Amino acid sequence: MVRDQLPWALPFGRRLRHLAVAISAALTLLGALHEGWAATTVQFVTYTGGLGDWSPYVGDDLGYFKDEGIDFQMHTFQNPGDIATAIISGRGDIATSSLPLVIAGVLSGTPIKLISATQKATPGGGYNNWWGALPNAGIAKPADLRGKKVAIYAQNSLAQAVTRSILASAGIKVGEYQEIALPFPQAYTALESGLTDVSLFIEPFYTRANQLSRSKYGKPLTVVYTYLNAFPNGLDLSGMFANADFLVRRPEAVRAFLRATTRAAKWGNSHPDELKKIIAKYAGVSYEDIKDAIPSEMSEDGKFIPGMLDEMQRLMIEYKTIPNLTSPLPESAFLDLSYLPAPR
C-alpha cells in the first residue's frame, strides 16, 4: 500500500468514515460472539385481563428485564387459546398458561416445554380458585350438586378434572350433574340467570361477586369447594412455557428472563398493594376494580410443588379430561427446569 492509500493519509472526513466502518464491524463481531452484549428481545404473549400470572408485568415495570439485558416485548390476545398458537408457530417465545394445555400440546407433538411454575394456591397463601353458589341456593357442599349445573371453565381443563374428582368423592358420578363451560367474567351473572348453580371464580371476579352478593342478599357467596379440596398440600395453577426451538437457540436469554421473573415474584409477594397497581396497568383493567382483590401467590423459585404434576396427570387420566392421555407422561417430555436460577 502506498502512502496515499493509507487511512491516515486520507482527508479527515473520509478517515472518520473509515473509522466508523471499522468500529461498526468490530461491534457486530462482538455481538455475534457474545449474546449478552446487547439487549435480547423476548416476545412474551398473554391475554387481555390476565391478572394471575403477574411476574412478567413486575419484571418489566421495575426494570428487572433491563437489568438482565432483555428487551421485553409483550403481545396481548383477546382469546387465551391464541397464546398456544403463537408459541407453537414461533411468533411468541414465552407465555404463561394452564398446565393441561401444555400436556395436551406435547401429546399432539407441538414444540413446547414448561420452564417455570408461576401462580399457585397453598393452604397458607390466601389465594385459590373458588366454586361458589348464591347464598340462598341451598347448596353448601359437593353432595348437594347432584342434578345441578356446575361450571368447569373449559373442557379438558384442570377445573373439570378437579370437579369430577370432588363430586365422585361425594358419590356423584359424571352424568349425574351438568358440566357448563363458562369464562370467568360471566361467573356471577350465570348464577343470577340460572345458567349455573355453582360457578368457578378467580380474582378479581371472586371479590366483586362477593360484593354484589352482600349487596343483594346480605351474605357473600357460599363456597362449595376449591382446588385445595383436591390438592390439600397446594397446587400450581399455571406455568410458564416456551417454544422448544427458542430454548435451543437462546438458552442464555431464557435464563436471564427467568432470573428477572423469579426476582419479580419475590417482590410482588411482599408488596401486594403496589403489586395490584402494576397488574392493573399491564392487564388493562381499572385499579378501582381490583384494589380489594386477593393477588395470586407466585412461585419464587419457579419449581413445582412436589408431587403435584403427577397427581394432576393421574386426575386427568382417571376422569378422561384429555382423551389421548392414557398413561402419565414422564416429566422430561414436557418439563425442563434447567433454565431456572440456581438456589442461593
pLDDT means over runs of 10, the chain (344 residues): 38 42 39 51 87 96 98 89 87 92 91 96 95 98 98 91 96 97 95 98 96 98 97 96 95 98 98 96 92 96 96 93 92 96 85
Q: Which residue is associated with the grid cell 382423551? A: 323
State the CB neighbour count (10 A cutoff) for residue 173. 10
Which residues lie below 8 Å from residue 198, measured CB to CB, with a gap of 6+? 131, 132, 133, 139, 145, 148, 149, 150, 151, 191, 224
In angstroms, rounded to a whole number, what is the distance separating the alpha carbons of residues 231 and 239?
A: 17
Q: Is residue 15 packed enough to be buried (19+ CB in 10 Å), middle (13-18) or exposed (0-12)?
A: middle
| Grid coordinates of 194 | 340460572
Q: What's residue 204's pLDDT?
A: 93
Residue 41 DSSP code: E
CATH classification (class only), 130-230 = alpha beta
Residue count of the chain, please give it: 344
Cα angle at 148 between 147 and 150, to 5 degrees?
A: 135
The yes-or-no answer to whether 37-123+235-333 and 130-230 have a common fold is yes
Q: Where are the domains of the chain?
A: 37-123+235-333, 130-230
Buried b (16+ CB within 10 A) or exposed e, 115-129: bbbbbbbbeebebbb
Q: What's residue 344's pLDDT?
A: 72
Cα-Cα-Cα-Cα dihedral sign, residues 309, 311, 314, 320: negative
- Residue 278: its H or E element: helix 272-283
CATH classification (class only), 37-123+235-333 = alpha beta
Q: What's residue 38's pLDDT?
A: 55
The answer to whether 222 and 197 have CB atoms below 8 angstroms apart is no
The answer to whether 15 and 7 have CB atoms below 8 angstroms apart is yes
